[in-house]
Structure 1
Amino acid sequence: MNARTNAPDRVEVNEQGEKVTTFSLKRACNGCGQLVGDVDNRDVDERGNLTDVRGECDHCRPLVELEAAGCRTWEVTPRSINRVDDELDRLDVYAKGYWQEVDGKLQVVGLRVGTGETRVVARFGDWLIAHPNGKFTVHKAPEAVR
């Protein structure tokens, strides 16, 4: 895949003496939201849907590689936590909300998966990874997302 350009904004003064800023529309990773570069023809498929650019993102590329190797991945968010928990229940994997005090109040901040020493905690924004051998790991969200 060709490297994506990342054109900086250009500020010029036009013939009337007005300051004009020219910028390129940027594409964000559909996994973590970090910018990957300028929008181009690769970003929309033949049906007009946005394409998956996680493989172009330094943070999300490892997830794409894990999925290609047979792993299941889920992003744990306040909106997805119940669906992820339900899917883990169907896999007969113990999971429950992970609680922590935030601003003086106890609230769910992620998902605890497994028991004992093999237990992992995926906080909101993190990706939970189920490996083919039954092991679970967590791919932490970038600091900008936390």
Structure 2
Amino acid sequence: MKRACNGCGQHLGDADNRDVDNHGNLTDVRSECHNCRPLVELEAAGCKTFHLTLRTIARIDNLVDRDGHYAKGYFEAVDGKTTCVGLRIGTGEDRIVARYGDHLVRHPDGTWTVHQAPEKAS
């Protein structure tokens, strides 16, 4: 049986008894993943992380607005149609853009940054 990161789904090798706690629940193995380890470290430093998906974009947009930052869907042409592909925060040259699959990080000082999703292996 193979094991995968709880955060991004990257394969981490074979499953073993470290992957299940005493109650049979899967443990958090994100700290073993080269992509998600920085998110775990940011969370330990007091940051909040949010995985941007179609289901979470509205909630994250509301949180960004509550912090007093401008947030809006980010649109691109996909197969000839204008499609929302993520969220942008801020305006002008200082804006940041997160695409679906990326993580947005809210730092304790109220600033936001993007942790990009790993590229899919082809």
Fold agreement, TM-score > 0.5: yes
Residue 128 (structure 1) aligned to one of 104, 108, 116? 104
Runs of 4+ in 1 over 6 A off after TM superposition: none
Residue 60 (structure 2) aligned to one of 65, 76, 84? 84
- Given the alignment of the two structures, is residue 61 of structure 1 paired with residue 37 of structure 2, yes or no? yes
Larger Rg: 1
Residue 105 (structure 1) aligned to one of 76, 81, 90? 81
TM-score between the two structures when normalised by the length of structure 2? 0.89
| AA in 2 matched with 1:71 | C
* 1:1-146 to 2 correspondences below 5 Å: 25-144=1-120
Say if 2:49 and 2:104, in contact at 8 Å, map to a contact too: yes
SS in 2 for 1:96: strand
1:100 is displaced (CA, Å) by: 0.6
Q: Which runs of 5+ in 1 are unaligned?
A: 1-24
1:64 is displaced (CA, Å) by: 0.6
Give distance in 1, aligned partners of 2:8 and 2:43: 16
RMSD: 1.6
| AA in 2 matched with 1:59 | N
TM-score between the two structures when normalised by the length of structure 1? 0.76
Greater relative CO, 1 or 2 (CA 8 Å, sep 6+): 2
Inter-CA distance 91–135: structure 2 relative to 1 (3 Å threshold): closer
Give distance in 1, aligned partners of 2:39 and 2:69: 21
Identity %: 65
SS in 2 for 1:51: coil
SS in 1 for 2:93: helix
Aligned length: 121
Inter-CA distance 55–66: structure 2 relative to 1 (3 Å threshold): same
Deviations 1:63-91 (A, max 9, x none): 11111111111111112212212222333
Give distance in 2, aligned partners of 1:100 and 1:30: 29
